Chain A
Amino acid sequence: MTDLKQGLHTNYMVLNMGPSHPATHGTVKFLLTLDGETVVDCDVEIGYLHRGFEKMCENGTWCQVFPYTDRLNYNSAIINNVGYAMAVEKLLGIDIPERCKYIRVITSEIARLADHFTNIGAAALELGAFTAFLYFVEVRELMWELLEGVCGARLTSNYIRIGGLYRDLPSDFKERVKKAFTKSRSLYNDVDKLLTKNRIFLDRMRDVGAISSEEAIAYGFTGPCLRSCGVPYDVRKANPYLIYDQLDWMVPVGEKGDNFDRYLVRMEEIIQSMRIVEQALKGIPDGPINIDDPRIRLPAKDYVYTSMEELIDHFKVVTEGIKPPKGEIYFAVEGANGELGFYLVSDGGGKPVKCRVRAPCFAITQAMPRMVKGGLIADIIPTFDMINLIGGECDR
Chain B
Amino acid sequence: MSEDGVTIKRLRDKFPDSIIESHSFRGDDTVIIKKEDIVEVCRFLRDEKGLAYNFMMDLTVVDYLNIREEPRFEVVYHLYSLEHNHRVRIKAPVSESDCSIDSIISLWIGANWFEREAYDMYGIIFKGHPDIRRILLYKEFKGHPLRKDYPVQGRQPLIGPKN
Residues in A lying within 8 Å of B, measured CB to CB: 46-47, 50, 52, 54-55, 59, 90-91, 93, 215, 217-220, 231, 233, 238-239, 327-330, 332, 339, 341, 343, 345, 347, 353-354, 356, 358, 362-363, 365-367, 395-396
CA distance A327 to B108 in the complex (A): 28
Does the CB pair B110–A327 fall under 8 Å?
Answer: no
Does the CB pair B145–A55 fall under 8 Å?
Answer: yes
- From known contacts A55-B145, A220-B110, A354-B62, infer whether A46 and B136 are also in contact, taking CB-CB under 8 Å: yes
CA distance A47 to B135 in the complex (A): 7
CA distance A366 to B105 in the complex (A): 13
B95 within 8 A of A: no
CA distance A343 to B91 in the complex (A): 13
CA distance A34 to B87 in the complex (A): 41
Q: How many A-B residue pairs have CB under 8 A?
A: 88
* Residue from A55, A332, A341 in contact with B146 in the complex, judged by beta carbons closer than 8 Å: A55
- From known contacts A46-B136, A47-B136, A362-B113, infer whether A356 and B60 are also in contact, taking CB-CB under 8 Å: yes
Does the CB pair A220–B30 fall under 8 Å?
Answer: no
Does the CB pair B137–A47 fall under 8 Å?
Answer: yes
Of the listed residues B64, B67, B113, the one surrounded by the most CB atoms of chain A closer than 10 A to its CB is B113
Does the CB pair B152–A343 fall under 8 Å?
Answer: no
- From known contacts A54-B146, A366-B110, A395-B136, infer whether A91 and B152 are also in contact, taking CB-CB under 8 Å: no
CA distance A46 to B152 in the complex (A): 22
- From known contacts A219-B109, A339-B57, A366-B113, infer whether A50 and B136 are also in contact, taking CB-CB under 8 Å: yes
Does the CB pair B146–A396 fall under 8 Å?
Answer: no
CA distance A58 to B24 in the complex (A): 24
- From known contacts A327-B26, A329-B26, infer whether A220 and B62 are also in contact, taking CB-CB under 8 Å: no
Does the CB pair A356–B58 fall under 8 Å?
Answer: yes
Distance in Å from the Cβ of A395 to the closest Cβ of chain B?
6
21 A–B contacts, CB within 8 A, in A order: A47-B135, A54-B146, A55-B146, A90-B26, A217-B82, A328-B25, A328-B30, A329-B26, A329-B28, A339-B57, A341-B57, A341-B58, A341-B78, A345-B62, A347-B67, A354-B63, A356-B58, A358-B58, A362-B113, A363-B114, A365-B113
CA distance A238 to B84 in the complex (A): 10
Residues in B lying within 8 Å of A, measured CB to CB: 25-26, 28, 30, 54-58, 60, 62-64, 67, 76, 78, 82, 85, 87, 89, 108-110, 112-114, 117, 121, 134-138, 145-146, 150, 152
Does the CB pair B55–A50 fall under 8 Å?
Answer: no
CA distance A286 to B112 in the complex (A): 48
CA distance A59 to B153 in the complex (A): 11
Distance in Å from the Cβ of A362 to the closest Cβ of chain B?
6
CA distance A367 to B112 in the complex (A): 10
CA distance A345 to B28 in the complex (A): 13
Provide the residues of chain B in CB contact with A347, threshold 8 Å: 67
CA distance A203 to B85 in the complex (A): 37
Of the listed residues B57, B62, B87, the one surrounded by the most CB atoms of chain A closer than 10 A to its CB is B57
Distance in Å from the Cβ of B70 to the closest Cβ of chain A?
17
Known: A50-B136, A218-B108, A347-B67. 9 other contacts (CB 8 A): A52-B145, A54-B121, A90-B26, A93-B26, A219-B109, A328-B25, A328-B30, A353-B62, A366-B113
Q: Which 3 A-B pairs have the closest CB atoms?
A: A220-B110, A47-B136, A219-B110
Distance in Å from the Cβ of A331 to the closest Cβ of chain B?
9
Distance in Å from the Cβ of B40 to the closest Cβ of chain A?
19
Does the CB pair A363–B136 fall under 8 Å?
Answer: no
- From known contacts A330-B89, A343-B76, infer whether A46 and B135 are also in contact, taking CB-CB under 8 Å: yes
Provide the residues of chain B in CB contact with A339, threshold 8 Å: 57
Provide the residues of chain B in CB contact with A54, threshold 8 Å: 121, 146
CA distance A354 to B76 in the complex (A): 12
Does the CB pair B110–A343 fall under 8 Å?
Answer: no
CA distance A238 to B82 in the complex (A): 9
Distance in Å from the Cβ of B15 to the closest Cβ of chain A?
22
Does the CB pair A220–B56 fall under 8 Å?
Answer: yes
Provide the residues of chain B in CB contact with A353, threshold 8 Å: 62, 64, 67
Of the listed residues B28, B89, B117, B145, the one surrounded by the most CB atoms of chain A closer than 10 A to its CB is B28
- A359's nearest neighbour on chain B, judged by CB, is B58
Distance in Å from the Cβ of A129 to the closest Cβ of chain B?
32
- B58's nearest neighbour on chain A, judged by CB, is A358
Does the CB pair B58–A330 fall under 8 Å?
Answer: yes
CA distance A347 to B134 in the complex (A): 29
- A342's nearest neighbour on chain B, judged by CB, is B58
Does the CB pair A218–B152 fall under 8 Å?
Answer: no
Of the listed residues A50, A90, A365, the one surrounded by the most CB atoms of chain B closer than 10 A to its CB is A50
Provide the residues of chain A in CB contact with B112, threshold 8 Å: 366
Provide the residues of chain A in CB contact with B30, threshold 8 Å: 328
Provide the residues of chain B in CB contact with A50, threshold 8 Å: 136-137
Does the CB pair B136–A396 fall under 8 Å?
Answer: yes
Provide the residues of chain B in CB contact with A52, threshold 8 Å: 145
Provide the residues of chain B in CB contact with A367, threshold 8 Å: 110
